[in-house]
Chains A and B, each alone.
Chain A
Amino acid sequence: MLAFIIRRLVQSIVVMLVVSLIAFIMFRFVGDPVDQMVGLETTLEERAKLREQLGLNDPLPVQFWHFVSKAAQGNLGISYQFKRPVLQMIGDRLPATLELSFVSALFALLAGIPMGVYTALRRESILSKLFLTISLIGISLPTFLIGIILIFIFAVHLQWLPSFGRGKVVDLGWWSTGFLTVSGLKALILPSITLGLFQMTLIMRLVRSEMMEVLRTDFIKFARARGLSNRAVHFGHALKNTMVPVITITGLQLGSIIAFAIITETVFQWPGMGLLFLQAVQNVDIPIMAAYLLLIAFLFVTINLIVDLLYVMVDPRIRIEGKEA
């Protein structure tokens, strides 16, 4: 087990180095950071001096080396635009993204699994057809459109929920949370639905097909033959056996929820990391872009590791094979 973890950690570091290298190569094409940092009237000499100070004249490998060696010491640089340490800024924005991702993942699971089970068991009912239609919308409409539609219905028309931002947040010193105020909770509803709709659909469809598959297998027939109640068969045996792929997908999707929160955060002006990243791209704020990409790479790598470990716990077969190997 230890060897497995160490092997994975080494792989992770390689992945992150590759990601940051690719990112650095891409930064050459996003525009000139100096033009975005100064006002129009700044003279050419001033601009040249600033470029020199920021180390933008160094050759790419040198810039990359500076970045990696500083990052290894936990220093991700200063934002060109905000003139604040990037790590501090990401730390400020992280709670917003994590809370949003957590709530939308929860929404996706709590709505997706029951809907999947229901549509698998009552294939012909009207409700099942309704669920499938909704899920089709969830998969086919782009996120920003869903967000805007929700805003126009619930914020502009009905005026029940806020159209942007996090509402009032409580600052706990190291974490700012929207869970403790009414406006904070209300502000979470629309963005989490927007962000979670795709995942909900995915989970629902996955549970449905897996469940239908499992229901046809012999051991369900035997379970029924033993006279077990429908409830025990469906939830005790069938659902439990559909869970392995659901865990994999949920785990992997958690990473993409955080990473793809960019669009939802932009539509709802949600002050998270995704919004920070998008604005950084528009303003060529290289330190923020580099740090964000590194962080997302780290997140995916960690999630994959955890998912692999979870497999081992959930499925005894993998455990046994591991021992033999």
Chain B
Amino acid sequence: MSFRRSLLGATLLTSVFAMPALAENTFNFAFQGSLKSLDPYSLNETFTLGTLGNVYEGLTRRDPELKIIPGLAESWEVVEPTRWRFHLRKGVKFHNGNDFTAADVVFSADRVRSEGSDLKTRIPADAKFEIVDDYTVDVVLSSPNPILHYEWDTWGIIDKEWAEANDSVRVTSASDQAATPISLQSNGTGAFKITKHDGGVNTTLVSNADWWNAANKKYNVDTVEFSTISSDATRVAALLSNEMDLVYPIPVQDIKRVESNATTAAMTGPELRTIFLGMDQKRDELLYSNIKGKNPFKDQRVREAFYHAIDIEAIKAKVMRNLSTPSSLMISPFMFENAAKIERLSYDPDVSKKLLEEAGYPDGFEVSMDCPNDRYVNDEAICQAVTAMLARVGVKVNLNAQPKAQYFAKVLASGGFDTSFYLLGWTPGSFDSWNVLSNLIGCRDDAGNGGMFNLGGYCNEDVDALTNQVLVESDPNKRLDLITQAYQILAAESGYIPLHQQGLAWGVADGVDLKQRADNVLMLYHVNKK
């Protein structure tokens, strides 16, 4: 009897002591922007796709160094140049318990290209998906495409059966009269499931014990609480007050404060986004300048003069507080192996003045500059610095800095490219140069067909020809060579003035271990908390 009693006592005691081990390990993080709709195809934006990437998985994944690794497809091969074969992972279950099969892949491929989807560029419109067996899918293309799967990590697979049962086959669009279930709840295959979602406020995710990769899981958090904190000061305060384990981004001027605080640290690194200046080279007369009857930016000497006038090291030291990497390219060197072959024009105001004089502007001229003030890191301050630097060589810049909504409405195609000189940032979603070449450097017409984000209308037919070759060239070395040639032509003509890759700055509490990806995406399966 007494033995029994002591056994009972011991059991009770163990259970009491076992309690802390069972305690939930909650990871709290805050980001500047918000998670709106949960439909994984309704917005092509890094934070939304990145966060939903913890819930919905693609056929591929990207590792912390952004290398493509297998996701829901265990492997794939190019059977012939226009036929890719994907071997799907077996034994994967959706959060509702349904099996993941080839039918789900085909369904998702149709859905991602359907009306209302913002991710249509993930798959060529005429690509056909064929089911070979339950765990093998063939993709048949009309022309070879070496980078077919580059963005497939952000195209998450949806359960066909669940979507059909829940009126979620169509992609939620703003012209709908009611929200679809898939925009309010989720059912993916990922390591985390969403249990509560209050759009624009907070979202709760819990660890998925049945994840296919649970046996090798490298994270120890059970619950993740995400909150939107849009005010910079409040976001930093929430970290310093120990309410948050991670907040991002941290304004560059607060990095020191986060570093000097005893229980937090700043995690910094280069981001993929390139910030650059563009000039209207298309119109015969600039819209906003005192020079009438001609367009000074059509003269290469003027563009070079602008380039030589920019003291990029000063911008780095003073405006970016050293959290930037000066760049000579329109793409991050991270995504282009021959980056060293192209160099920046030197900072030299004297050369700049001489070039302006040769071009026929000995006293400079006047031009307006469009600049966002809430889009990129210290965007307005960069523009102010550029304005001051150009003033030194005699060019009077009238700065027009506006919130992003007004800025983009003015300078993009919808506003008729209404700008003469502007600052813009670009990250190629595919991590590949073709995106940059076609969107930023390709010739365009007045409506914007062609290089839709080539706001200044730079145009060189040789570059366009190279871009078309890059699209279909399968040999990696030849492809790299074509890309390099295109960038060299652009640099030789000073078609753009690249400034820098801005930096990432995350504020992390002590005891939290995570991986910062250069695309500013947080994968929750890299998070460990003491």
Contact = CB atoms under 8 A, between A and B. Distances in A.
B179 A39 contact: no
Interface stretch (A118-126, A157-165, A299-307): A157-165
B363 interface: no
B409 A44 contact: no
Contacts of A170: none
A266 interface: yes
Interface string A16-31: 0000000000000111
A85 B229 contact: no
B243 interface: yes
Contact of A279 (B34, B183, B235): B34
Given A44-B448, A269-B227, A83 B405 contact: no
A35 B45 CA distance: 12
A79 B202 CA distance: 18
A82 B414 contact: no
Contact of B429 (A29, A41, A155): A41
Interface string B179-214: 100011000000000000011111000000000000
A79 B34 CA distance: 14
B429 A83 contact: no
B431 to A, nearest CB: 13
Nearest to B178: A85
B233 A148 contact: yes
A40 B453 contact: yes
B448 A78 contact: no
B44 interface: yes
Which of B37, B409, B415 has the most CB atoms of chain A within a 10 A radius of its CB?
A: B409
Which of B34, B231, B242, B435 has the most CB atoms of chain A within a 10 A radius of its CB?
A: B231
B253 to A, nearest CB: 14
B230 interface: yes
Main SS class of interface, B: loop
A230 interface: no
Contacts of A80: 174
Interface string B23-43: 000000010001011010011
B154 to A, nearest CB: 10
A54 B34 CA distance: 23
Given A38-B44, A40-B44, A163-B243, A30 B429 contact: no
Nearest to B48: A39
A37 B503 CA distance: 26
A221 interface: no
A208 B396 CA distance: 56
Contacts of B415: 32
Interface string A149-178: 001100110010011110000000000000
Nearest to B435: A41
B339 interface: no
Interface size class of chain A, counting residues whose CB lies under 8 Å from the partner chain:
35 or more
Contacts of A156: 237, 240-241
Interface in B232-249: 233-235, 237-238, 240-243
B411 to A, nearest CB: 10
B414 A34 contact: yes
B414 A43 contact: no
B234 A267 contact: yes
A30 B405 contact: yes
B36 A83 contact: yes
Contacts of B172: 83
Contacts of B237: 148, 151-152, 155-156, 163-164
A49 B515 CA distance: 40
Contacts of B406: 29-31
A269 B174 contact: no
B241 A159 contact: yes
Interface in A78-96: 78-85, 89, 92
B243 A83 contact: no
Given A165-B227, A279-B230, A283-B405, A82 B44 contact: no
A31 B405 contact: yes
Given A41-B429, A85-B179, 6 more contacts: A32-B405, A46-B120, A53-B174, A82-B200, A152-B237, A271-B200
30 contacts: A29-B406, A30-B405, A32-B408, A32-B409, A32-B412, A35-B409, A38-B118, A40-B429, A40-B439, A42-B44, A43-B452, A51-B414, A81-B36, A83-B176, A83-B179, A84-B37, A84-B184, A84-B199, A85-B178, A148-B233, A152-B237, A155-B241, A163-B238, A164-B234, A267-B234, A268-B234, A269-B234, A271-B198, A271-B202, A279-B34
5 tightest A-B contacts by CB? A39-B44, A31-B405, A32-B409, A31-B409, A271-B201
